[in-house]
Structure 1
Amino acid sequence: MTNENGNSMTEKGGLTPHPLLSGLKHGLIVSCQALEGEPLFGSETMALMASAAEEGGAVAIRANTPQDIRAIKKKSRLPVIGLYKKQYPGAEAYITPTLREVREIWEAGADMVAFDATRLSRPNGETTEQFVARIRELLPEAVLVADVSTYEEGAAAMDMGVDAVSTTLSGYTPYSLQQEKPDVELVARLAALRRTPVLAEGRIWTPEQCVACLNAGAYAVVVGTAITRPQEIARRFVHAILENRQSSPFL
């Protein structure tokens, strides 16, 4: 039995994950990204990061730009969730915002396509529903990962027939929950729908937080900064030291 998007249905009505997603269940996905101007910026470095993540037991990589995706695919055997961050005038959504970016990362070898599925404005006034429909028409075989920031956005993305929903943007839209820790409650609410695999992502700093997301129902967990951005890791240690100076009798 299938639904209108061609996904197979279980007897209880839940979606059976795409075969590519099945290999990610209860695993760690490492986001290997560096912005221009950061110390580790560059496709070669990101490929090495991906290789290290694979050696450490990661089940997939999340990567930005066609260049990085190509380099990573040459270095690692892991499936890649590809995205392409690009800002367009008058639009707020910047994670794979148009079909041009979708096509470029797909041609670069991405196994899955991640895109902004929030209610932030999109280029040319396009709605998320229209965007998903156009991707399905252009690349019907593509595995789609919807990056959301709220429960409502996640449920709506599921209605659109995406293959997975990720909590990537919780705290990164002005109307979503603002906090320093991961949004475990959002993970739990979306997972409770038992309709589409939910990836936990965003501000996951420790193994304990990772496990908490899995216990809340996450299909898999995405960790980026805490693994692949050493300058941010160092800042957290330095901040703790500076705070301790004010209270420690030994400093």
Structure 2
Amino acid sequence: MSAILERLRGGLVASCQPIDDGPMDDPHIVAAMARAAVAGGAVGLRIEGIDNLRAVRPVVDVPIIGIVKSDLPDTPVRITVRVHEALELAEAGADIIAYDATNRPRPDPRESVLAAIIGAGRLAMADGSTLEDGQIALAGGATILGTTMSGYTAATDRLNAGPDFGLIRAYRDLGAFVMAEGRINTPELARQAIAEGADAVTVGSALTRLEQVTGWFVDAVRSAR
């Protein structure tokens, strides 16, 4: 397990998650996207969905962080919400399984999802939003603390629009392997995340969501007119 962390340390993880139902939302395209990211130097991948994971696993040899996103009527939590999703990700070949580690209502307690990941012999990445989220996850056996949910919960949605460098430092001080994730959309922000104490950085939209990146440039051009 430590070998997986060493492969990620100091590197970039590419989150290959196309926009739902968009033209790139196809396992074959996600697999090609993943191969391209690795060819560009990504040391790991974050892949959403069982079908996408099964398509990507045979064509890359870097560590994969697997997640399942759900839209459920009774919870705002979306990332690996239920125990059976964690087990399916393990079976499909994820080396690391990320789950929402925030303190919000959900069908399966976050502790149960974490226990399922560890029981399946996979590393657990806690997608947190606060220092307390990280403390509880570490106590339960999580190996990686991600800043993924900072800014996306009711308790943190008033934070600035950029990465939560304060949470990166707080998680570093806990002695965890820290994954900087969330609103890192320029090389400079990725560099700064490492400088602030992150062990690795995950970048998604700026690398793999062509519709969003195109929109950034379209807005800039239109505003100049």
* TM-score past 0.5 threshold: yes
Deviation for aligned residue 1:122: 1.3
Distance 2:213 2:74 in 1: 33
Match of 1:131 among 113, 134, 137: 113
Match of 1:190 among 171, 176, 184: 171
Distance 2:31 2:4 in 1: 21
1:119 aligns with 2:98: no
* Number of residue pairs aligned between Structure 1 and Structure 2: 224
Distance 1:107 1:127 in 2: 21
1:152 aligns with 2:170: no
Residue 8 of structure 2 aligns to a residue whose secondary structure is coil
Distance 2:25 2:112 in 1: 33
Task: Check whether the contact 1:18–1:163 (CA below 8 A) recurs between aligned residues.
Answer: no
Instruction: Note closer, same or farther for the CA distance 1:106–1:216 as it changes in structure 2 (3 Å cut).
Output: same
User: Pairwise mapping of residues 89-108 of structure 1 onto structure 2 (< 5 A)?
Assistant: 89-108=73-92
Distance 1:156 1:244 in 2: 47
Deviation for aligned residue 1:39: 2.1
Q: Report % sequence identity.
A: 37
More helix by share: 2
- Amino acid of the residue matched to residue 136 of structure 1? I
Distance 2:72 2:200 in 1: 31
Task: Check whether the contact 1:148–1:169 (CA below 8 A) recurs between aligned residues.
Answer: yes
What CA RMSD, in Å, does the superposition of the two structures yield over aligned residues? 1.5
Give 2:210's aligned residue. 230
Deviation for aligned residue 1:34: 1.5
- Amino acid of the residue matched to residue 244 of structure 1? A
Give 1:88's aligned residue. 72
Distance 1:208 1:236 in 2: 17
Q: Deviations over 1:42-82 (max 9, x none)?
A: 11111001000010010000000111011111221211100
Q: Deviations over 1:182-231 (max 9, x none)?
A: 111211121122x2101000111111000000000001000000000111
Match of 1:76 among 57, 60, 75: 60
Distance 2:170 2:183 in 1: 18
Match of 1:47 among 23, 26, 31: 31
Residue 87 of structure 1 aligns to a residue whose secondary structure is coil
Task: Check whether the contact 1:94–1:116 (CA below 8 A) recurs between aligned residues.
Answer: yes
Q: Which of structures 1 and 2 has the bigger CA Rg?
A: 1
Q: Deviations over 1:80-105 (max 9, x none)?
A: 10001123331222211111101111
- Amino acid of the residue matched to residue 50 of structure 2? P
1:174 aligns with 2:158: no
Gaps of 5+ in 2: none
- Amino acid of the residue matched to residue 199 of structure 2? Y
Query: Structure 1 length as normaliser, TM-score?
Result: 0.85
Task: Check whether the contact 1:181–1:203 (CA below 8 A) recurs between aligned residues.
Answer: yes
Deviation for aligned residue 1:129: 2.5
Distance 1:167 1:86 in 2: 20
Task: Check whether the contact 1:73–1:109 (CA below 8 A) recurs between aligned residues.
Answer: yes
Residue 165 of structure 1 aligns to a residue whose secondary structure is strand
Give 2:141's aligned residue. 161
1:26 aligns with 2:26: no
